[in-house]
Amino acid sequence: MSETPGALTVRQYVTLILEGKATSEKLVSGCLARIDSSDGDIGAWVHLNRETAISQATSCDESRKRGLPTGSLQGIPVGIKDIFDTVDYPTERGTPIYAGRRPDADCAVVEKLREAGAVIPGKTVTSELAWMHPAETKNPHSVLHTPGGSSSGSAAAVAAGHVPLAIGSQTGGSTIRPASFCGIYGFKPSRGIISRRGVFKTSSSLDQVGLFGQDLGDVALLADALGGYDATDKTSYLAPRPRMLDGYLADVPIEPIFAWLDLPYADRFSPATVEGCDELREALGSQVERIDAPRFFGELIECHKIIYDYEIYQNLALERTNHWDQLSETAKSGLLEAGNRTQSEYQEAIAMMGSANQWFGQFFNDYDAIITPSANGEAPRLSESTTGDPICCTVWTLCGLPCISMPLLAGEDGLPIGVQFVAGFNEDDRLLRTSRWLLNFLNSCQN
């Protein structure tokens, strides 16, 4: 049996581990070996402790052997973006300001992972404070290109086969865009499903947890393990969560109807993106309706920027005040600009976000999902000093809608481009069902 992630799904691994036909120790050792052989080039990991990883894996195997309770991710290694607090590893948030910082408590996501029996081999690289300034991580498909950001290391680690699953975050497009650039599945569940307790705050209204995987069903399994109410997170809600894996496994009641929106930023899409999406629409035929995006989409993009600016300026008060010299020039100029936002601008933007949510509530009565690019095109070159343009994610992130990026297209340089699927708030199960239907549909087209 191969121990390479990608060879088997996480669900298959968990079954084998629970049946005693595979061990977490072997799976994690295989992951560590692949990290050793390729992370020198890629730089996906910032903290890695082989002993901790193997000892967690061995302990998972021991628990199973002794008949103790097992979890839905028993023995599966999951990479964690370095803005998520962990007791076992430093959490340095991609900045020298927090060099050597050791949290006293795990974040909610890591608690949930441990409850699900997962193994945490280490922390993945984040751009500075999960913001704009790129980290050193390289795209596993081409070391001359960025993996995207700010969840650079998590996306690269999954794409390189270091781990089958990883955790990132998204405030603009920090999960969907790196998933697109790295040719893997990215999933940002609806706002409020997963607690952000113990995650570095940039924008309290917009920050969300994002997931990466080599397989869509595995990402659904991961989302099920992470969901849950947390009174300490103001976006967390007290009601049942969508059942992610059930959604993924469900058959569609009728063939889904997609919406393609002609967007105000479509002129930024690369020719390969435009062509790939044209082909996809053509294959889907009458199952896609092509419509103009409403005019207020332009305003929504502006609202997102206002809210992000206003809140990151507040949330980075400590870094601004006490550590200005340790910030990158990118962060400094970003903060200088952000500081100019007024409170009334901000309140208007928050109100506009509310109206947009209502609009989407109506919109998704008629459509199962929006089809839209995950990113403008392939990953930019590292020499461009950017992790890429998040514009393709802005509106959906603002509204807290569930988004999935699937690695369906290729660009001019042969690098991956993702296609993004967006559904109504809290209809993550339906989005997973629709996305799986689409994967099957595309498979059947190829045969």
Chain residues in the site for a copy of itself (CB under 8 A) = 63, 67-71, 74, 105-106, 111, 114-117, 228-229, 231, 238-243, 426-427, 429-430
- Extract the tokens encoding 420: 């993004």
Shortest distance, position 237 Cβ to a copy of itself, whole Å: 9
Alpha helices in 183-316 (DSSP H): 216-226, 244-249, 271-284, 296-315
Q: Which helix (H) or strand (E) holds 268?
A: none
DSSP code string of 138-185: -BTTBTTB---SSSHHHHHHHHTTS-SEEEEEESSSTTHHHHHHHTSE
Residue (39 or 429) nearer to a copy of itself, CB:
429
By beta-carbon proximity to a copy of itself, the closer residue of 393 and 432 is 432
Q: Which is nearer to a copy of itself, 40 or 240 (CB)?
A: 240
- Shortest distance in whole angstroms from residue 133 CB to a copy of itself: 33
Tell me what percent of the chain is helix, strand and coil, each rounded to the nearest 5: 45, 15, 40
The separation between CA 285 and the C-alpha centre of its own chain, rounded to angstroms, equals 30
- Kindly tell me which of 56 and 169 has the beta carbon lying closer to a copy of itself: 56
Q: How far is the CB of 238 from a copy of itself (least distance, A)?
A: 5
Q: Least distance (Å) from a copy of itself to the CB of residue 223?
A: 12
Nearer to a copy of itself among residue 369 and residue 393 (C-beta)? 369
Give me the least distance between CB of 302 and a copy of itself, in Å please: 30
Q: Quick check: 152 and 126 in contact, CB under 8 A?
A: yes
Chain position carrying tokens 């700010």 = 150
Angle at 280 between CA 275 and CA 281, to 5 degrees: 100
Nearest distance, CB of residue 273 and a copy of itself, angstroms: 32
Smallest separation (angstroms) from a copy of itself to the CB of 17? 12
Cβ-based neighbours of 230, under 8 Å, separated by 6 or more: 108, 195, 197, 236
Task: Specify the residue, 114 or 323, whose C-beta has the smaller distance to a copy of itself.
Answer: 114
Closest approach, Cβ 364 to a copy of itself, in A, equals 10
Q: Which residue has the tokens 């975050």?
A: 169
Q: What is the DSSP letter of 112?
A: H
Least separation in angstroms between residue 53's CB and a copy of itself is 17
Rounded Cα distance, 90 and 108, in Å: 16
Q: Which is nearer to a copy of itself, 106 or 207 (CB)?
A: 106
State which residue, 159 or 245, has the beta carbon closest to a copy of itself: 245
Q: Which residue number, 239 or 318, has a Cβ lying nearer to a copy of itself?
A: 239
Question: 403: which strand partners?
Answer: 188, 422
User: How far apart, in whole angstroms, are the C-alpha atoms of residue 323 and residue 56?
Assistant: 36
Three-state DSSP state, 12? helix
122 with 79: CB under 8 angstroms?
Answer: yes
Asked whether 338 and 138 are in contact (CB, 8 A), the reply is no
Torsion of CA 295, 264, 276, 362, to 10 degrees: -20
CB closer to a copy of itself out of 141 and 241: 241
For a copy of itself, the closer of residues 106 and 218 by Cβ is 106
Q: How far is the CB of 279 from a copy of itself (least distance, A)?
A: 31
CB nearer to a copy of itself: pick between 58 and 63: 63
Residues 6+ apart with CB under 8 A from 264: 293, 297, 298, 301
Within 8 A by CB and 6+ apart from 71, the residues are: 115, 116, 117, 118, 225
Q: Report, in Å, the least distance between residue 210 CB and a copy of itself.
A: 20
Closest approach of a copy of itself to the CB of residue 118, in Å: 10
Q: How far is 233 from 156, CA to CA, in rounded Å?
A: 28
Strand order through the sheet with 78-81: 45-48, 122-124, 78-81, 165-170, 208-213, 185-188, 403-410, 416-422, 369-373, 258-262, 288-292
